[in-house]
């Protein structure tokens, strides 16, 4: 009980209520004043007991608060156990919570009594409310009473199959608790971990990986199947979970992939990009097998998926990603982490300290990473010393010929710092720079000699030590410096410095023949008062002088040896004995004394001035062990890369097979996936719009079209707008969409589930149809839905309510499954939390639209890609026959959806042989594509007869930009550089949509997304037909039926990203027109606007 | 038809469940006495069951013997215990998430503290024979976490900072007194933040739903009605897909304020030239909007932002592709974004300091004069100017006269501070006088470094400008406000 609490009480009960305003929970305002009068502890506890027995909740609460106060102060409150535990079933939540707090603290000590509470928890574990279940599990597992281990085990098993992800999360936490209570349960717990690892909820992922790390970090085999899922979920996991998962995956990757470092030179961006390119690239690859290292796509997946986390606000996450890049990424890519690490230096001192240490280790090995940020490590006078020294360490590591002069100037300021410890460290740093960079050795040495006249002893001493080391590396010209230092012996008192000077004089005694004996004389005088370190060096000096100049120093040396013989330190006595035997000739010391001179005056190797962080890289970065530079308990060694990668197929979860089957089944003319599953898989996980999901959606929309062929476009669009609003409600909560997507991806783990997915998809597209007027369809749809219903339900996390609602109508159930899809079931307990209100499409935010793009739903069902209205036959020259040595090439845009990839524009290239010889082996050579651009080339043409021409098609992904794609067109003999620049109008695919949809979409793409211009329209263009013709000729747009004569609308979507491009031409009086373009791709929009202007204004 | 059915049939079951639970609880309470008897019966049943199992497993029925042996710390905890220590070395709060760690473990900490002389220099990681002590020092309190096994140190440090932030958020200030006064709330919060040493709920929005922060009003109400701080409604945030936002937020005035605050970190050398200067900025938001608003914030010149870190609510993809901040905001105050302005942009230094500080070898008097003036301020006033300087140890006293503002010199800590206030460009503030040095000591090697603080309102020195803020998802029209400010960060002038 705090003193303040007592104070209040003493003032009397009447005042207590008013006091309550400032009173704290610890004070007990409603407690009778009498309590304050009791002073002894036992008495007070009696009162507490009484209060706990009382019928009033307020009294109990006050008692509990006081008890918690006691616990917080570390006072023993265990004797209250029986009184407290009775209240575990209290109705009052706060009392209950405080009892839990108490239980967790004392249950271990009072095991018998603690059992009294168990039944309450067991009952709560069956509670329909997930939060009650979760908290019951949490407290139950926190009570460290071995008897209840079996109960806990049961509870964990049950909870791990709970429908609520929150309960499962708590189950994962409980695993660790149980394991520490009873390690014998390990095997059973591993089973539970295995099960929970398969969980698809982001809520569970972090906790279960944590449990995995605690219980069975060596069971790497459990991760295989979940690896890709974890990578994909990572962004959406809560931040603490991210740290744990990243560290675990780092270890995992080190055992599963081969080193990407072996030939970092060869390994280039292009190489990796190839990898992720679609299948056809593969064939080409096979032709040039020369590339020896290819990164496993799973390896790449991890590296790619962790990158966005560098932007996290959580320093631990950023550091985790940084160490992952350091340990796993190709050397050329690790550099991207430096910027984020430097950002962390703005954080609190503790974070700075850890980050600086890690940077120090990194900067030793790869200077280049942090060189651009040199100035961020400049020291401020307000930094704490430990930060200063770490920064200094990094600056020293980064020093090179180019920046050393600026650095030395900076160091000069530091040397003068009032923080002497730091000044000394700076001198060390200067010494290191001097040895590492030979250009500045002399400058540094001179600077250090100047420091010898500094007033501060620590600075001088440090300088002496450093100069000693420097002189050793440069044994040439230093008679003067040694003389100078010999003089310092009179003033310097720091032992290390004195010892250093003595050693120097001894070592180079032949260069200072006059001074050396004199120094020895002086030292002999003060020998007894010296520090051990100095004494040893005096002995050394004596021995060396004895050997070189025995005439002058023989007696002196013997005197010193005698002094040493009776020294208190056995170390010195030993040394004395040893030296005497060695140098003073007598009968016993036969053989060795001949070599004494060689022994003492041998050439000594120069000391290496190294960073103290030199050997830290043996520890994984970002770990406690790294910070301490010793192995901490429980540190898991990062294994070396395997020579040969273990079978990568263990991570495969049969999904591609199915995808293929499916697309075939749907009659989609899709190119066969390559035999290697990986590539397609990796591609599938590609961030924005994946081939897989897109093909899904396309096929889905196709399906839809097939289903209601006769359905007018009007109806079609209506249903699609419905659907849009549907999916909107679903994805309303920001990240839900992302999660949703990842779920879909990870869902595909299992063939069965996949089929379910499909059926569900069909269902959703179908059901949107059902909402439209056609009732027949709706009935058939709901039928198919109920087929798939049961298994979908059983698979998804559902809850008591969901099952209760099973009786309800079909669309009702549909809604519930839909919510299940959005990962977390909210409907269970708080109706407010579920954003049921379906907003009208008008306020659908563009962000949602953008986010929806990646999903397989929505977009394609809203707007269907249609065939082009007009295919211009205009050809562009690719290669003139003169420059092509007879080979001529032209290209034109076929405006057909490209068969090579959904994001590609198809280009028809016509090759003509104008020579009179056969041209052989025409193929595409080296490509120079801007970042992100991809290209699918035509198959090499074996030969082309004279005067013959051939048309081949290519696919180019321009990434929605008008950048040129440059490549080489090669024949057997020659290479020609050619390039294709797409007109903006060719980067589009026409879409059909209703006027209503158009307006809806347009309404969403206002503001920044709108560009417009007023133009003068040539009179002949003002008729509808001409205008349409002109526009579609210029750009691959689809015509939107318009109700008004003077307004013409066109719609398309960009090939790469699928963003809508809406063009409106509104004819006004006086032959002017308003040209409006709405698109998210504002750049393309404005270019298109510019191109369309002349088309309409000129005749 | 179908539609209407759906709408009507959804909500009732949920409320019914809630009623049911509370009814059940009430019943439980009434039957308190009966229950105790019942409990004993159940207990007996439990006992019987487990004794039986234990016997089958041929172990001591109570398993008591195995307590000590099996309870060996296998290190299944990240953060084992937490001690709060004040500057005078008293442990005023301890919390254990697993078995109790004796507070004697803190002796190692005290040792390190003694060695470090200054609180700032206490190493954040202290190894002891059986534990590791990780600490952060904030608000004159050491938060010492005890851990037993390998763990990323930043994980613990970041978490401890989050704890401090939470306390600050709850109580307004985080000090020893406040923590002692609110010990129960502190305990409850800590209980929710960590489960078995692993962070559980760290978002302040969720925590506030679980445990209501104390306010004067609530304390009064609580004393009268006997109600509690603990949220009676179970929180939803943790389970929702927007874990950072409370549900059911309602305001009569819907407002969203954004403060763009930029700090200049700079080191200026003796001659006034810039050694290093960078701009770090943050956008702090105070959003009080009803419902689930979806906001987008766009910049006129997003290219300026070089390195950014986001609140988890920001959609990363959208930023990557369009440089637009799109997010569902948390309720209340939060830091939306922090950024760094790319190094290519030269930093306009808004102030200059003219200084003339000299010590003479022979005399015990030194001269001291500094003048502060504006430079490149884009026509804005520089205000809140504050000059501090750590004088060398040899300085005994200073007699100075400022042309404006107040100045103090603490002869013990040797800290000179001068509160200048606004800079009037017509009449530059100036501080002039003499320093008296300890007789006999030699002159200091180094002139003191001058630290500068200032503020410029209505200016983001990098030139960053917010273009527009749009809200989707809700129908009302919010009041939107954007404020710019430039401040000195770590702004030092070497002399």
Q: What is the DSSP string of A828-842?
A: TT-GGGS------GG
Contact flag A851-B25 (C-beta cutoff 8 Å): no
Give residue B222's pLDDT: 57
Can you tell me the distance from the alpha carbon of A267 to that of A292, in angstroms, rounded to the nearest whole number? 9
Nearest to B196 among A61, A176, A342 (CB): A176
**Alpha helix ranges (H) inside A830-980:** 846-853, 859-862
Query: Which helix or strand (DSSP H or E) is residue B306 part of?
Result: strand B305-310
The answer to whether the CB of A456 falls within 8 A of the CB of A590 is: no
The answer to whether the CB of B75 falls within 8 A of the CB of B148 is: yes
Q: A739: distance to nearest CA of chain B, Å?
A: 9
Q: What is the mean pLDDT of residues B75-102?
A: 83
Among chain A residues, the shortest Cα distance to B64 is held by: A146
Nearest to A68 among B124, B184, B442 (CB): B184
Nearest to A150 among B10, B50, B186 (CB): B50
Question: Is A420 near chain B, with CB under 8 Å?
Answer: no
Beta-ladder partners of A119: none
Interface test with A, best of B155, B214, B336, B437 (most A CBs within 10 A): B155
Nearest to B228 among A93, A342, A417 (CB): A93
The answer to whether the CB of A1007 falls within 8 A of the CB of A1079 is: no
DSSP E strand boundaries for B9-131: 81-86, 91-96, 125-127
Query: Which helix or strand (DSSP H or E) is residue A709 part of?
Result: none
Give residue B344's pLDDT: 63
Q: B462: distance to nearest CA of chain A, Å?
A: 17
Strands A975-980 and A965-970: antiparallel
**Alpha helix ranges (H) inside B304-358:** 316-322
Contact flag B154-A24 (C-beta cutoff 8 Å): no
Contact flag A829-B449 (C-beta cutoff 8 Å): no
Burial call A757-767: b when 16+ CB within 10 Å, e when fewer: bbbbbbbbbbb
| Residue B94 CB-half CA count within 13 A | 22
Give residue B15's pLDDT: 38
Q: Which of B419, B414, B376, B381 is nearest to B398 (CA)?
A: B414
The answer to whether the CB of A1076 falls within 8 A of the CB of A1066 is: yes
Higher pLDDT, B59 or B98: B98
Higher pLDDT, A607 or B312: B312
The answer to whether the CB of B258 falls within 8 A of the CB of B284 is: yes
Among chain B residues, the shortest Cα distance to A815 is held by: B6
Nearest to B196 among A111, A142, A624 (CB): A142
Handedness of CA A172, A177, A180, A183 (dihedral sign): negative
Among chain B residues, the shortest Cα distance to A636 is held by: B150
Can you tell me the distance from the alpha carbon of A924 to that of A939, in angstroms, rounded to the nearest whole number? 8
| Residue B305 CB-half CA count within 13 A | 26
Can you tell me the distance from the alpha carbon of A203 to that of A189, in angstroms, rounded to the nearest whole number? 19
Q: What is the mean pLDDT of residues B396-411?
A: 89
Residues 6+ apart with CB under 8 A from B34: none
What are the residue ranges in chain A where pLDDT is below 50?
Answer: 1-40, 264-290, 655-862
Give residue A513's pLDDT: 80
Can you tell me the distance from the alpha carbon of A24 to that of A704, in angstroms, rounded to the nearest whole number? 65
Structure tokens at B380: 């804005």
Question: Is B188 near chain A, with CB under 8 Å?
Answer: yes
Contact flag A349-B292 (C-beta cutoff 8 Å): no
Confidence tier at B452 by pLDDT (50, 70, 90): very high
Burial call B13-31: b when 16+ CB within 10 Å, e when fewer: bbeebbeebeeebeebeee
Which chain B residues are Cβ-neighbours of A839 within 8 angstroms?
A: 473
**In sequence order, what DSSP letters do the residues of B430-469 get, joined into one string?**
EEEEEEEE-TTSPPPSSPPPEEEEEEEET--TT---EEEE
Higher pLDDT, B125 or A200: B125
Nearest to B120 among A177, A349, A832 (CB): A349
The answer to whether the CB of A1036 falls within 8 A of the CB of A989 is: yes
Residues 6+ apart with CB under 8 A from A613: A357, A360, A361, A364, A393, A397
Can you tell me the distance from the alpha carbon of A65 to that of A102, in angstroms, rounded to the nearest whole number? 10
Contact flag A58-B77 (C-beta cutoff 8 Å): no
Residues in B 200-229 with any Cβ partner in A closer than 8 A: 200, 202, 214, 216, 219-220, 222-224, 226, 228-229
Confidence tier at B221 by pLDDT (50, 70, 90): low
The answer to whether the CB of A120 falls within 8 A of the CB of B36 is: no
The answer to whether the CB of A1055 falls within 8 A of the CB of A958 is: yes
- Give whichever of A839-848, B370-379, B438-447 has the largest mean pLDDT: B370-379
Question: Is A284 near chain B, with CB under 8 Å?
Answer: no
Contact flag B267-A182 (C-beta cutoff 8 Å): no
Query: Is 0.95 surpassed by the pTM of this model?
Result: no
Give residue A866's pLDDT: 67
Handedness of CA A703, A704, A709, A713 (dihedral sign): negative
Interface test with A, best of B160, B195, B277, B323 (most A CBs within 10 A): B195
Strands A1047-1054 and A1038-1040: antiparallel
């Amino acid at each position: 009980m705090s003193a303040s609490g007592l104070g209040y009480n003493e003032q009397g009960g009447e005042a207590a209520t008013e006091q309550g305003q400032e009173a704290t929970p610890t004070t007990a305002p409603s407690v009778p004043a009498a309590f304050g009068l009791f002073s002894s502890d036992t008495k007070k506890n009696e009162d507490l007991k009484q209060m706990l027995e009382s019928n009033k909740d307020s009294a109990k609460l006050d008692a509990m608060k006081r008890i918690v106060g006691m616990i917080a102060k570390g006072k023993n409150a265990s004797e209250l156990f029986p009184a407290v535990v009775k209240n575990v079933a209290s109705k009052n939540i706060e009392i209950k919570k405080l009892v839990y707090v108490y239980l967790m603290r004392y249950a271990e000590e009072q095991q018998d009594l603690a059992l009294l509470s168990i039944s309450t928890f067991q009952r709560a574990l069956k509670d329909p409310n997930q939060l009650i279940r979760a908290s019951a599990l949490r407290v139950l597992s926190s009570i460290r009473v071995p008897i209840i281990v079996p109960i806990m085990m049961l509870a964990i098993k049950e909870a791990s199959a709970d429908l609520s992800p929150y309960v499962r999360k708590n189950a994962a936490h409980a695993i660790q608790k149980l394991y520490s209570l009873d390690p014998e349960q390990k095997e059973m717990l591993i089973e539970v971990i295995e099960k929970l690892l398969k969980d698809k909820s982001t809520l569970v992922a972090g906790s279960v990986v944590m449990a995995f790390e605690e219980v069975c970090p060596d069971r790497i085999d459990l991760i295989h199947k979940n690896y890709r899922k974890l990578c994909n979920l990572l962004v959406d996991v809560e931040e603490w979970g991210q740290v744990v998962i990243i560290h675990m995956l780092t270890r995992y990757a080190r055992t599963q992939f081969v080193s990407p470092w072996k030939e970092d030179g060869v390994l280039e961006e292009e190489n990796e990009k190839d990898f992720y390119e679609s299948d056809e690239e593969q064939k080409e690859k096979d032709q040039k097998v020369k590339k020896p290292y290819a990164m496993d796509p799973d390896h790449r997946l991890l590296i790619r998926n962790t990158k966005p986390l560098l932007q996290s606000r959580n320093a631990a996450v950023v550091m985790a990603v940084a160490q992952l890049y350091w340990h796993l990424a190709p050397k050329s890519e690790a550099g991207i982490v430096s910027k984020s690490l430097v950002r962390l230096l703005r954080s609190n001192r503790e974070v700075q300290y850890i980050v600086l240490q890690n940077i120090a280790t990194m900067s030793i090995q790869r200077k280049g990473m942090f060189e651009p940020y040199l100035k961020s490590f400049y020291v401020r006078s307000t930094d704490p010393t430990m930060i200063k020294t770490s920064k200094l360490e990094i600056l020293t590591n980064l020093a090179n010929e180019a920046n050393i002069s600026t650095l030395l100037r900076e160091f000069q300021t530091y040397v003068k710092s009032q923080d002497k410890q730091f000044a000394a460290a700076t001198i060390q740093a200067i010494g290191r720079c001097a040895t590492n960079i030979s250009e500045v050795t002399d400058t540094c040495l001179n600077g250090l000699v100047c420091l010898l006249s500094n007033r501060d002893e620590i600075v001088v001493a440090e300088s002496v030590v450093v100069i000693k080391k420097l002189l050793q590396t440069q044994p040439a010209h230093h008679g003067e410096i040694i003389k100078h230092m010999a003089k310092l012996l009179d003033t310097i008192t720091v032992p290390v410095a004195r010892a250093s000077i003595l050693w120097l004089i001894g070592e180079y005694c032949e260069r200072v023949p006059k001074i050396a004996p004199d120094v020895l004389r002086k030292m002999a005088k003060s020998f007894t008062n010296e520090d051990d370190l100095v004494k040893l060096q005096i002995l050394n000096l004596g021995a060396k002088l004895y050997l070189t100049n025995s005439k002058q120093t023989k007696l002196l040396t013997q005197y010193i040896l005698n002094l040493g013989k009776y020294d208190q330190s056995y170390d010195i006595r030993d040394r004395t004995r040893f030296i005497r035997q060695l140098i003073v000739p007598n009968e016993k010391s036969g053989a060795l004394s001949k070599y004494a001179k060689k022994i003492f005056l041998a050439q000594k190797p120069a000391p290496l001035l190294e960073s103290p962080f030199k050997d830290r890289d043996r520890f994984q970065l970002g770990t406690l062990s790294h910070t301490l530079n010793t192995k901490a308990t429980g540190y898991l060694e990062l294994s070396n890369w395997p020579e040969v990668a273990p079978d990568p197929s263990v991570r495969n979860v049969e999904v591609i097979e199915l995808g293929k089957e499916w697309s075939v089944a749907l009659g989609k003319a899709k190119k066969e996936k390559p035999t290697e599953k990986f590539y397609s898989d990796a591609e599938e996980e590609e961030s924005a719009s994946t081939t897989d999901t897109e093909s899904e959606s396309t096929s889905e929309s196709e399906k839809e079209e097939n289903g209601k062929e006769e359905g007018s476009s009007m109806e079609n669009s209506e249903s699609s707008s419905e659907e849009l609003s549907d999916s909107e409600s679903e994805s309303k909560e920001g990240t839900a969409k992302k999660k949703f997507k990842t779920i879909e991806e990870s869902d595909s783990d299992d063939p069965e589930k996949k089929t379910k997915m499909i059926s569900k998809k069909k269902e959703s597209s179908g059901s949107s149809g059902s909402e439209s007027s056609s009732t027949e369809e709706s009935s058939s749809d709901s039928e198919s839905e109920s087929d798939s219903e049961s298994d979908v339900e059983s698979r998804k996390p559902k809850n008591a309510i969901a099952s209760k609602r099973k009786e309800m109508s079909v669309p009702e159930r549909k809604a519930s499954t839909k919510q299940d899809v959005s990962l977390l079931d909210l409907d269970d307990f708080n109706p407010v939390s579920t954003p049921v209100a379906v907003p009208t499409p008008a306020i659908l935010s563009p962000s949602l639209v953008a986010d929806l793009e990646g999903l397989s739903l929505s977009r394609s069902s809203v707007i269907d890609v249609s065939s082009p209205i007009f295919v211009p036959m205009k050809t562009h020259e690719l290669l003139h026959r003169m420059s092509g040595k007879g080979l001529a090439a032209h290209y034109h845009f076929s405006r057909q959806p490209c068969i090579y990839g959904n994001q590609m524009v198809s280009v028809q290239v016509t090759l003509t042989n104008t020579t009179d010889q056969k041209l052989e082996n025409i193929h595409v050579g080296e490509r120079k594509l801007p970042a992100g651009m991809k290209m699918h080339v035509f198959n090499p043409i074996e030969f082309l007869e004279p005067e013959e021409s051939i048309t081949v098609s290519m696919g180019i992904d321009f990434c929605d930009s008008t950048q040129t794609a440059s490549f080489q067109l090669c024949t057997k003999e020659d290479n020609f550089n050619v390039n294709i620049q797409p007109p903006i109008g060719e980067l589009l695919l026409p879409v059909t949509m209703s006027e209503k949809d158009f307006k809806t979409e347009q309404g969403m793409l206002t503001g920044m997304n709108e560009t417009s211009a007023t133009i003068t329209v040539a009179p002949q263009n003002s008729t509808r037909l001409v205008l349409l013709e002109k526009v579609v000729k210029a750009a691959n747009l689809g015509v939107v039926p318009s109700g008004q004569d003077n307004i013409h609308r066109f719609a398309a979507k960009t090939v790469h990203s699928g963003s809508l491009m809406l063009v409106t031409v509104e004819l006004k009086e006086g032959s002017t027109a308003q040209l409006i373009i709405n698109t998210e791709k504002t750049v393309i929009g404005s270019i298109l606007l510019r191109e369309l202007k002349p088309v309409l204004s000129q005749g | 038809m179908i539609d209407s059915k759906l709408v009507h049939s959804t909500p009732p079951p949920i409320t019914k469940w809630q009623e049911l639970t509370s009814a059940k609880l009430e019943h439980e309470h009434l039957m308190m006495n009966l229950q105790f008897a019942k409990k004993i019966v159940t207990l007996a049943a439990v006992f019987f069951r487990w004794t039986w199992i234990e016997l089958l497993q041929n172990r001591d029925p109570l398993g008591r013997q195995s307590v000590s042996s099996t309870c060996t710390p296998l290190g299944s905890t990240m953060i084992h215990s937490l001690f709060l220590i004040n500057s005078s070395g008293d442990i005023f709060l301890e919390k254990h998430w697993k078995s109790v760690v004796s507070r004697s473990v803190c002796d190692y900490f005290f040792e390190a503290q003694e060695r470090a002389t200054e609180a700032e220099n206490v190493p954040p990681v202290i190894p002891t024979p059986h534990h590791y002590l990780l600490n952060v020092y904030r608000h004159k309190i050491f938060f010492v976490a005890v851990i037993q096994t390998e763990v990323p140190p930043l994980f613990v440090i970041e978490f401890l900072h989050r704890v401090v932030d939470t306390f600050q958020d709850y109580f307004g200030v985080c000090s020893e007194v406040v923590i002692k006064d609110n010990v129960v709330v502190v305990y409850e919060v800590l209980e929710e933040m960590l489960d078995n040493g692993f962070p559980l709920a760290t978002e302040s929005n969720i925590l506030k739903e679980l445990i209501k922060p104390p306010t004067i009003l609530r304390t009064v109400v609580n004393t009268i009605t006997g109600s509690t701080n603990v949220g009676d409604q179970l929180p939803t945030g943790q389970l929702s897909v927007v874990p950072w936002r409370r549900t059911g937020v309602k305001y009569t005035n819907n407002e969203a304020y954004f403060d763009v605050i930029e700090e200049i970190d700079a080191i200026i050398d003796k001659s006034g030239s810039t050694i290093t200067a960078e701009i770090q900025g943050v956008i702090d938001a105070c959003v009080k909007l009803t419902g689930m608003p979806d906001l987008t914030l766009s910049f006129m010149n997003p290219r300026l932002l070089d390195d950014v870190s986001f609140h988890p609510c920001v959609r990363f993809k959208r930023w990557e592709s369009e440089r637009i901040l799109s997010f569902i905001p948390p309720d209340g105050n939060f830091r939306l974004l922090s950024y760094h302005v790319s190094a290519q942009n030269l930093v306009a230094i808004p102030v200059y300091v003219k200084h003339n500080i000299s010590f003479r070898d022979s005399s015990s008097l030194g001269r001291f004069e500094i003048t502060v003036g504006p430079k490149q301020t884009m026509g804005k006033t520089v205000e809140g100017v504050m000059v501090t300087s750590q004088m060398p140890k040899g300085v005994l006293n200073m007699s100075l006269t400022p042309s404006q503002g107040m100045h103090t010199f603490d002869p013990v800590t040797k800290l000179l501070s001068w509160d200048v206030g606004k800079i009037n460009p017509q009449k530059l503030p100036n501080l002039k006088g003499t320093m008296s040095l300890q007789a006999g000591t030699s002159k200091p090697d180094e002139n003191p470094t001058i630290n500068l603080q200032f503020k410029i309102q209505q200016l983001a020195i990098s030139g960053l400008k917010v273009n527009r803020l749009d809200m989707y998802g809700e129908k009302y029209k919010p009041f939107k406000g954007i404020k710019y400010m430039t401040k000195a960060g770590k702004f030092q002038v070497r002399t």
